[in-house]
Every structure is written in structure tokens, then in C-alpha cells.
Chains A and B, each alone.
Chain A
Amino acid sequence: METSTSRRKLFNQLMKILGLLGLGLSLVILLTLIFDLIIRGGSRIDFNFLTSFPSRRPSEAGLLSAWVGTLFVMLITAVMTILVGVSAAIYLEEYAKPGPMSRLIELNILNLSAMPSILYGLLALGIFVHQFRLGASLLTAGLTLSLLVLPIVIVSSREALRALPPNLKEASFALGATRFQTLIYYQLPSSLSGIMTGVILALSRAIGETAPLITIGALTYIAFLPKSIMDPFTVLPIQLFNWLSRPQPAFHVNAAAAGVILLFLTLSLNLLAIYIRIRVRKSVKW
């Protein structure tokens, strides 16, 4: 009896150590990869790198058109997801009656959140680029990415709306406000931080998307800044991919540098979202 128990306890410890080892090893590997990226690319980043256009000479090539393109595409994506995503969330939380139709919508949102991103690119190619004749423009990119990240915004906004205590809403109705007025003057402003968290997470996802944008035709040599939303463009992940595809090792250093910046932006956005979430949880409003 004694030995069997101590054997079981030993096995228990073993499994615990194995698990911790697995966790530790995975973290170490991932962090090593990240540090390797920073070491290889970090030193390449300087003012020139950030303000030069791509060039055939790796030492002269820079990220200017890429990060400006990213900025514009993110702006368009943010606007579209806020307009459409929040509206969809409002409908599902406030106006929709539970039934087959709302279940259909929810099922679709769930399914879309697990769709390969390249399929969004094909959809955009068929409809935005050819049918609507928008071409490989900033607008097409923004529309494509907003469709891609829409589920993220919808889910977060719904959660934010749901988190509001119902008694204040009922109080508002009791005072004679319409559903709509309650929405505009109370619900939306109060759930703003939750909605913002969703939008920021959506952007952090969109900023690193490469495949759908390649599919709509974004990979070309772009050595200028876009002036209108119908202009061709490039973005950070595509520039990274472009440099990575060139055999000269100096271009790989550039790719690492672009990767560092992309990683920095992605992590910052994620941390911002986490920070907002923690602050909201802490603040006592009601």
C-alpha cells in the first residue's frame, strides 16, 4: 500500500515536471525566435530605414511606402469595422429576436472567424477588384481586411453591451426614452472601452495579414506614397515577404528589421487592448 502510494505520488511529480518542462521549453523556443529576430534586424532600424523607399540596393531600401500604406489601410479598416461591426452587434443584442435567423447570423460569424484569410482575398478579387472595378487599391485592401476581422469586433462589442447592468437600461425606458435614444446616449458611450478593445484587437490581427492582400494584387514595386484611396499601395508584411524572397542576405536583414517593427506594432496593440480590459475591470462605475 505504502509503496504504491509513494509511486503514484512520484508519478504525479513526474507529470508535473514534464508539463512544466513542456511549457518552459515552448516559451523558451518562441522567445528565442523573437530575440533572434530582434538581434538580426534591430540594428538595421534607423531614421533612414524608416523614411526611405524600397530600392534595389539593400542598404538604401526602406519602409516608408510600407508603413504609410499600413497606416492608411488600418485607418480604413478601423472606420469600416466600427461602422459595420458595432452596428451588427447592436442588432444582435438589442433588436434581434431569438430564432432561426439570429442563429444563422451567429453561426456565420462563428464560421467566418475560422476561415483561412486567403479565401477573403479570393472573394475580394472576384467582387471588389473585378466586379466593382476598384482595382488593387487602398480601398480594396481596407474593405477586404475589415471583412476578415469583422467577427472580432462583433464579438467584443456584443460582450461589451451585454456587460452593462440591465437596471440602468430599464430606468432609461421608464423615463420615456426610446430604444434608440437609450442606445445612443447610454449604452454606446458606456460600452465604449469594450468596443475599443475589440477594434484594437481586430487591427492587431489585420496589421499582419499578408495572403489576402497579395491575392488582390498588392505585391508590386511601390516607391511612392499613396495620395488617394484608389492608389496602389504596399504594407509592412508584404514588404517583409518581398525582401525575404530575395536571395541576397542583406535583404534578409531588412526583412528582419521589418519584422521587428511589425512585431512591435502587433504587440503594442495587443498590450493596449489588455491594458484597457484590465482598467475597465478595475473601475467601479455603477
Chain B
Amino acid sequence: MGTRQSRGWVEKIFETWFAACAYLSVAVTAGIVLTLVWESWPFFQQVGLVEFLFEKEWTPLFSDAKFGIQPLLLGTLMTTLIACAVAVPLGILIAATLSEFMSSRMRQVIKPVIELLAGIPSVIFGYFALIVVTPFLQKWIPSLPGFSLLAAGLTMSFMILPLIVSLSEDALQAVPSSLREASQALGGTVWETTWKVILPSASSGIISACILGVSRAIGETMVVAIAAGQQPHWTLDPTEPAATMTAFMVQVALGDLPHGSLGYQTVFVVGLTLLLMTLAFNFLALQFRSRIRKSF
């Protein structure tokens, strides 16, 4: 216990350290944005935004290189669409069942199970996609190739399902019980209450949950890298292999990234596109989240 002055001095150092750590989060975001923009800038000067957006081929390392983002973008959108087409309706249904039809004791048992399932690493889902899901699908669709958007998308749906269920269930639980009791007092069944009263009230939270699921699907890397194939391919057919933006980044990273070359820059350019999409979706999710508080 030194004098008051020396105590103040030591405390100040710690306070500065604490503050610096907190501001680190801002620095990290800024770092990601700046790194991506900085490394992408020369690419756009050389290739130009028009070719990037409108060219339908992505062959950056060929002698006659083409730099259109559309194949990669389409791959990402297809897998995300497939994943969400399954996970969103199923997830909301399960969340509603958990929240409205099941006793709180059952919920206390099942909720941790869902959290555990949400924690399974994505590379293991990649294993499932390649070794289990693809052969299974090939029984029903014999012409399905060994790598396909469909296999990756379906596996991803199970990966984001726990997330959507968990967040939607939270949103539903946040609706005050007075609404439930009032509806049932008026003679509504549990389902009618849920459909007409609870779901609409929790809609902002549920939409926010789904948007986060979409965001997660867009950014998913390992499942698509392992099971969707690594061929940038402009296709609307899910039974074909194609590369997503993330799979492309991993594929190039597995090779070499010599600083400053056009190949190195393409990784950052695609990363920048991914970042912009993720930021847009996160922002949207946030908007819906803030609406929840206003509705009650």
C-alpha cells in the first residue's frame, strides 16, 4: 500500500490497458476492413469493377485470365439458399414446438443438447457431407457427382439448424405470458395462439435469428470446401459441383500466396466481397433485434 499518489499512477496504467483491450475490438474490425481494402485496391485498378461484376468466369491464374465474381457468388448463394430452405422453416417449427408445446422441464433438458450440437466443429460436418450425405443422396439421385452444391447445402442446413432453433426459441420465450394467457382465455388452442399471436410478436427476433443463420451459411468454409467441389462454375443446378467464395479462398490459401501477385490479391478481393455481404446481413439482423424492444 504505497502513498495515494503512487497508487493512482499504477491504477492509471491498468485503466489504460483495460481501455486498450476494449478498443481492440474496434481495431480488429478496422484491421479486417483495411487489410481487405488495401490488398484489393491494386486488383480493382488492374481489372476494373465492370469485369468483376459482369464477367461470368473466374479463372485468375490462366494465361487468358478472367475475373468475374459471378460463379463464386452463385455458388455461395446456392448453398446458402439450400441450407436456409431447410433450416429456416424447420428451425422455426422446432423452436415453436419447444417454446409453446413443451414443458419447461423438457426444455431444460433439450436446450443444452441443442447448444452442444451447435458447438460441433464445421470440419466434422464436412466429413459428414463427403462420407455420409453424398453417398446417401446418390442412392436417390444416381447421376449426382461426388462433389455437389446439394450435398454441401443440405449438410449446412443441419449445421445452422441449432443456431436458428436456439435464437428463435429465445425470441419466443421473450414474449410475455400475458399474451398467451389472454389468447387462450379467449378460447384459442395452443397452435392458434402461437400462429396468430406469439409468432407475430416475436417476429423481429425470429427474423433476426434467421438472418444470422444466413450470415453463418454465407461465411461457412469447410463444408463447402470439402463437399461442394473446387471448380468455379456458373450454374443454377444444385446437383453440380461448384466453388463458393469461401472454398476459393481456402483453395488458393492451400497453394501459395506470394505477396503482391494478382493471385494473392484475388483472395482479398473475394474476402472483401464476403465481408460486405456479411456486414450487410449483420446490420439487417441488428435492425430487427432493436425492433423487439420497441414492440412491448
Chain A residues with CB under 8 Å of chain B are 8-9, 11-12, 15-16, 18-20, 22-23, 26-27, 29-30, 33-34, 36-37, 40, 83-85, 87-88, 90-92, 94-96, 104-105, 107-112, 114-123, 125-127, 130, 147, 150-151, 154, 178-180, 204-205, 207-211, 214-215, 217, 219, 237, 240-241, 244-245, 252, 255-256, 259, 262-263, 266-267, 270-271, 274
Contact assessment for B191 and A11 in the assembled complex, using a CB-CB cutoff below 8 Å: yes
Are B117's CB and A108's CB within 8 A? Answer: no
Interface string of B1-41 (1 = CB under 8 A from A): 00000010011001101111111111011011001101100
CB neighbours (8 Å) of A270 from chain B are 115-116, 119
Of A23, A114, A215, A244, which one neighbours B282 at CB under 8 angstroms? A114
User: What DSSP secondary structure best describes chain A's contact surface?
Assistant: helix
Check B93–A18 contact: CB distance below 8 A: yes
Contact indicator B246/A211 (Cβ below 8 Å): yes
Check A105–B26 contact: CB distance below 8 A.
yes
Residue of A nearest to B267 (CB): A122
CA distance A26 to B286 in the complex (A): 28
Q: How many angstroms between the C-alpha atoms of A210 and B98 in the bound complex?
A: 32
| Contacting residues of chain B (269-296) with chain A, CB-CB under 8 angstroms | 271, 274-275, 278-279, 282, 285-286
- Scoring A104, A215, A256 by chain B CB atoms within 10 A of each residue's CB, the highest score goes to A215
The winner among B101, B122, B191, B268 for most chain A CB atoms within 10 A is: B191
Residues of A within 8 A of B234 (CB): none
Contacts of B48 in A (CB 8 A): none
From B121, B130, B218, B254, give the contact of A207 (CB < 8 A): B121
Contact B123 A30 (CB under 8 A): no
With A8-B189, A118-B221, A204-B119 known as contacts, the answer to whether A151 contacts B35 (CB < 8 A) is: no
Q: Is the CB of A116 within 8 A of B158?
A: no
B19 and chain A: residue at smallest CB distance: A91
Are A114 and B212 in contact (CB-based, < 8 A)? Answer: yes
Give CA–CA (A19, B158) in the complex, Å.
16
Judge whether B98 and A23 touch: CB under 8 Å. yes
Query: Considering only CB atoms, which chain A residue lies closest to B101 in the complex?
Result: A16
- Chain B residues contacting A107 (CB-CB under 8 Å) are 286
A25 to B123, CA, bound (A): 23
B18–A90 contact, CB under 8 A? yes
B98-131 interface bits toward A, Cβ cutoff 8 Å, 1 = contact, 0 = none: 1001000000001011011101111110111011
- Asked whether, in the complex, the Cβ of A214 is within 8 Å of the Cβ of B250, the reply is yes
For B218, the chain A residues whose CB sits under 8 A away are 116
Best-buried of A37, A96, A110, A126 by chain B (most CB within 10 Å): A126
Residues of A within 8 A of B210 (CB): none
The 4 A-B pairs of least Cβ separation, nearest first, read: A208-B121, A116-B219, A19-B97, A87-B21
Tell me, in angstroms, the Cα distance from A116 to B98 when the chains sit together.
29
* B61 interface hit (Cβ, 8 Å): no
The reply to whether A122 and B226 contact each other, CB–CB distance below 8 Å, is no
A278 and B19 alpha carbons, distance in the complex (Å): 31
- Within the assembled complex, what's the spacing in Å between the Cα atoms of A286 and B279? 43
Q: Does B220 belong to the interface (CB within 8 Å)?
A: yes
Q: Considering the chains assembled together, what is the distance between the CA atoms of A22 and B96 in angstroms?
A: 11
List the B residue with the shortest CB-CB distance to A115.
B278
Q: Is the CB of A208 within 8 A of B25?
A: no
Residues of chain B within 8 A of A112, CB atoms compared = 25, 28-29
Q: Contact check, A262 vs B121: say whether CB atoms are below 8 A apart.
A: yes
Question: Do A33 and B128 have beta carbons less than 8 Å apart?
Answer: yes
Nearest B residue to A218, CB-CB: B253
- Residue pairs across A and B with Cβ atoms less than 8 A apart, 13 shown, are A22-B94, A23-B110, A33-B128, A37-B124, A88-B25, A94-B18, A126-B268, A130-B259, A180-B7, A204-B119, A208-B122, A244-B127, A244-B130
By a CB distance below 8 angstroms, the chain B residues around A208 are 119-124
**Bound Cα distance from A95 to B17, whole angstroms:** 12
Select A95's contact among B19, B31, B132, beta carbons within 8 Å. Answer: B19
> Closest CB of chain B to A276's CB: distance in Å?
13
Do B275 and A30 touch (CB < 8 A)?
no
Minimum distance in angstroms from B170 CB to a CB of chain A = 14
Does B198 reach chain A (CB closer than 8 Å)?
no
**B96 — which chain A residues lie within 8 A by C-beta?**
19
Q: Would you call B221 and A211 a contact (CB within 8 A)?
A: yes
Q: B222: CB under 8 A from chain A? A: yes
Judging by beta carbons under 8 Å apart, are A12 and B189 in contact? yes
> B53 at the A/B interface (Cβ < 8 Å)?
no
Instruction: Tell me, in angstroms, the Cα distance from A87 to B13 when the chains sit together.
Output: 12
Give Cα A8–Cα B189 distance, bound, in whole angstroms. Answer: 7
Per-residue contact bits, chain B 33-56, to A (CB 8 Å; 1 contact, 0 not): 001101100000000000000000
Other-chain contact of A122, B112, B249, B282 (Cβ < 8 Å): B249
Residues A237 and B123 in contact, CB atoms below 8 Å apart: yes
Near A by CB (< 8 A), chain B positions 239-262 give: 246, 249-250, 253-254, 257, 259
